[in-house]
Amino acid sequence: MRPACGRATVLTGPFAAFSIILAAAVGFAGPAHAAGDGDQCKDFRGSADAQIAACGRLITGKKLHGHALAEAYLRRGRGFNRKNESDRALADFDQAIRIAPDWAEPYVDRGSAYTGQGDLDRAMEDFDRAIRLDPNSATPYIGRSTVWGAKGDNDRSLADADQALRVDPKNEIAYNNRAAAYLKRGDLDRALDDINQAIKLNPRVALFYFGRANAWRDKGDAGRAIADYDETIRLDAGFARAFSNRGEVYRKLGEFDRAIADFDQAIRLVPGYAEAFTRRGHAYVRLRRYDPAIADYDAALRLNPNDHDAVNGRANAYTGKGDYDHAIADYDRAIALNPKVPMIYLNRGVAYAAKNDQERAIADFDQVLALNANDVFAFTLRGVAYGVKGDYARAVADYDRAIALDPRNAFTLYRRGAAKLKTGDTAGGEADIAAARTMKPDVAEEFTRRGMR
């Protein structure tokens, strides 16, 4: 079966690029059983069902032989692929290869179907065979580039995309694949150059705008990212990941209602879309709607039990509810799933501090700083924990480090001033508090209102 999220796998590696390649099908070469069936069998703009039926009549009519019969199976397989019926598609591609084993094209299609199923080794074998049979065709290089990308070998993915462009310098899918490889490298300017070229060559492909939106998002240009997600959705209203990614941009902008609406639509389109549940949970947490957030994290974890982000998110929701024991249990689980994420230790430290277990809180903040020596929040929160313990000298030292990293934070200055007063440094404490009030005149009142320490 295909992955549960279907289109949601598009362009993280360029898996679904091959659905576009297949749309550029070559003309039907064999004699037609009837003109209508011959035309419908090769028609990728009509309905998939009509194409499948027409090809089926050509196959069962027993008037096609050799390459022409193989092509009818190939095209029917493409029709099944359009309907995401990959097992039936594979059966037809197998038949095409059995009839015409030296024809490269069915290997490309079968490799694409295997890629969609996540069977990357079989896909690689088919693309390799297609390249041996027809080294001057761009499509098998593009397919193999896709597989290398999915396997995490970005250099080989890039090399095959380059080769595809040497063979066919105007192949928009090759530009798309190379852009995907550049995106994974973090080379966003080159990625944008290639995606722009793909769009110039074919401005009607939703996938390309989606890729460009991701590049703009990674460059921090939310406005352009949203505009390209909008265009993606205009071209393909069923593109679930475009809704989810646009929702995530809105969430990070603080536009939570828009974000939730986008996550809702992504989930309507793909009910098994775990990441969309997790992201919607994050939005609910920011709105302090902790119960629907927990429900979303539960749904995400039923779909993907090893998603540390969902476990961490649920822990944050429990923290928001004041249920620190459940929160800490989830933070423990998230750390077991991925022990290299500083934010999870930071969050668990906050939960321990809320339980007044300052020693464990400090140990967690220590771990954050072991992973990221410049984490301003860890210095600040460890300073708070030391202050609660009465170790004001260490608190001041941590606030010093935090202020060096973020000198315009009035709350940290105010905290340091209060800690200095406790150490007997009256002049230093009063100077810090005065500086904090200059930055934020109501800092003391806000400090009290928020219940901050």
Mean pLDDT throughout 388-398?
97
DSSP 46: S
Q: What are 14-73's pLDDT values in tens digits? A: 344 444 444 443 334 444 444 488 888 987 778 889 999 999 999 999 889 999 999 999
Helices 240-252, 206-218: axis angle to 10 degrees equals: 20
**What is the DSSP code (8-state) at residue 6?**
G
The whole-angstrom separation of Cα 247 and Cα 268 is: 14
State the pLDDT at residue 334.
Answer: 98
In this predicted structure, what is the pLDDT of residue 45? 77
On the question of pLDDT at 158 being above 70, the answer is: yes
Would the pLDDT of 239 be above 80? Answer: yes
Give this prediction's pTM.
Answer: 0.82
Contacts of 132 (CB under 8 A, 6+ apart): none
The answer to whether 334 and 311 are in contact (CB under 8 A) is yes
> What per-residue confidence (pLDDT) applies to 450?
66
pLDDT confidence of residue 2: 30
pLDDT in tens, 355-375: 999 999 999 999 999 999 999
Band of pLDDT at residue 451, cut at 50, 70 and 90 = low
Q: Which of 404, 396, 415 is nearest to 373 (CA)?
A: 404
pLDDT at 15: 43
Mean pLDDT confidence for 265-288: 97
Task: Report the percentage of the chain scoring pLDDT > 70.
Answer: 91
Half-sphere exposure at residue 30, Cβ-oriented, CA atoms within 13 angstroms: 24
pLDDT at res. 453? 62
Domains of the chain: 1-185 (1.25.40.10)
pLDDT at position 445 is 86
pLDDT computed for residue 179 by the predictor: 94
